[in-house]
Amino acid sequence: MIRFLLVLIMLAGTAGAVVAYGDPDQIARASHKVSHIFRSQSASPAPAVQIQRGQGGEFALRAKINGVAAPMVIDTGATSVVLTWETAKAIGLPLEMLEYDVDLETAGGYTKAARLTLDRLAVGHLVEKSVPALVVQRGQMKTNLLGMSFLDRLESWGVRADKLMLTGYPELQSSHRRSRTAID
């Protein structure tokens, strides 16, 4: 018990130092580590989502961005979640306030994108908050991309045969979530 308290104090001190420096990525990582330690004390099976490969070879799904359903394609080559302008408008993001100052290479060539943070991004029972994302200018892309700024937050993800499995971190025993969800 004393060892556990000592580890907890060290983690709290580390988290405090990270917060003091104000790096959002470091804060998110520290938060995930602390959460993982507490979850491992009494956790239920990790929530998982299974996605079937489409006829075109892609893994397509419907995610919920800030509560609004949006089609997405998994793209492990994308460093960030990338939204089309049209999807960002449908979600109600403040497009008039965005600065398109990020150079972005897409399948269609080079374009500019704007940085923002999504309050909530859910794929089945996997929910992440404060997810960094990009929005491209109007008409520059046809598909929303679920990139590494979401995938890196998961415990694991991988492909077997024609199925992609996304696995989150275990939930506390008090959670009433189902452990597996299939998305077509």
**Pair (127, 154) in one structural domain:** yes
**Pair (24, 115) in one structural domain:** no
Number of domains into which the chain is organized: 2
- Per the rule left: phi > 0, alpha: psi between -120 and 50, beta: everything else, 2 is alpha
**Where in the sequence is the domain holding 23, given as residue range(s)?**
2-41
61: CATH? 2.40.70.10
Nearest-angstrom CA–CA distance, 76 and 21: 29
**Pair (33, 55) in one structural domain:** no
Q: Rounded to two decimals, what is the model's pTM? A: 0.70
**Pair (23, 83) in one structural domain:** no
180-183 and 163-167: which strand pairing? unpaired
Q: Which three-class secondary structure state does DSSP give residue 166?
A: strand
Contacts of 163 (CB under 8 A, 6+ apart): 50, 51, 52, 53
**Pair (56, 120) in one structural domain:** yes
Per-residue pLDDT of the chain (184 residues; tens, 9 = 90+): 566 666 667 666 665 655 556 666 766 676 676 666 655 555 567 788 999 999 999 999 999 999 999 999 999 999 999 999 999 999 999 898 999 999 998 877 889 999 999 999 999 999 999 999 999 999 899 999 999 999 999 999 999 989 999 999 876 444 444 444 455 5
**Pair (29, 54) in one structural domain:** no
**Pair (142, 163) in one structural domain:** yes
Percentages helix, strand, coil for the chain (3-state, rounded to 5) are 30, 40, 30
Nearest-angstrom CA–CA distance, 54 and 73: 10
